[in-house]
Amino acid sequence: MECIKSNIENIKTKINNSCKISNRNEEDVKLIAVTKTVDIDAINEAIECGATDVGENKPQELSRKFEVIGNKVRWHLIGSLQTNKVKYIIDKVYMIHSIDRLSLCDEIQKRAEKIDRTINCLVQVNISKEDSKHGIYEEDALSFIKTIANSYPNIKVKGLMTMAPNTDDKELIRSVFKKLKKLSIAIDNENIEGVSMDELSMGMSNDFEIAVEEGATFVRVGTSIFGKRNYNKK
Ligand X SMILES: *Cc1c(COP(=O)(O)O)cnc(C)c1O
> Quick one: DSSP state of residue 136?
B
* Binding residues for ligand X restricted to 110-149, rule: CB under 6 A: none
**Is residue 93 involved in binding ligand X (CB under 6 A)?**
no
Q: Please report how close the Cβ of residue 228 comes to ligand X at its closest, in angstroms.
A: 8
Closer Cβ to ligand X, 167 or 223, answer by number: 223
Out of 11, 31, 34, 90, the only residue in the binding site for ligand X (CB under 6 A) is 34
> Quick one: DSSP state of residue 212?
H
Q: How many residues bind ligand X (CB under 6 A)?
A: 14
CA neighbor of 149 nearest in space, from 103, 194, 104: 194
Strand partners, 119: 155
Out of 135, 159, 215, 222, the only residue in the binding site for ligand X (CB under 6 A) is 222
Q: Give the distance from CA 60 to its chain's centroid.
A: 17
Strand partners, 217: none
Contact 122, 78 (CB under 8 A): no
Closer Cβ to ligand X, 215 or 222, answer by number: 222
Q: Please report how close the Cβ of residue 145 comes to ligand X at its closest, in angstroms.
A: 20
Out of 17, 118, 175, 205, the only residue in the binding site for ligand X (CB under 6 A) is 205
Q: Please report how close the Cβ of residue 61 comes to ligand X at its closest, in angstroms.
A: 12
Contact 124, 97 (CB under 8 A): yes
Out of 31, 78, 89, 187, the only residue in the binding site for ligand X (CB under 6 A) is 78
Closer Cβ to ligand X, 82 or 150, answer by number: 82
**Is residue 223 involved in binding ligand X (CB under 6 A)?**
yes
**Is residue 176 involved in binding ligand X (CB under 6 A)?**
no
Contact stretch for ligand X (CB under 6 A) within 4-12, 64-72, 115-123, 220-228: 220-228
Three-state SS sequence of 178-194: HHHHHHHHHHHCCCCCC
Gap between the Cα atoms of 99 and 86, Å rounded? 11
Strand partners, 124: 161
Closer Cβ to ligand X, 79 or 109, answer by number: 79
Backbone angles phi, psi at 33, to 5 degrees: -80, 115
Q: What H or E segment, with its residue span, contains residue 55?
A: strand 53-56
Q: Please report how close the Cβ of residue 147 comes to ligand X at its closest, in angstroms.
A: 24
For binding to ligand X (CB under 6 A), which residues are involved? 34, 36, 57, 78-79, 163, 204-206, 220-224
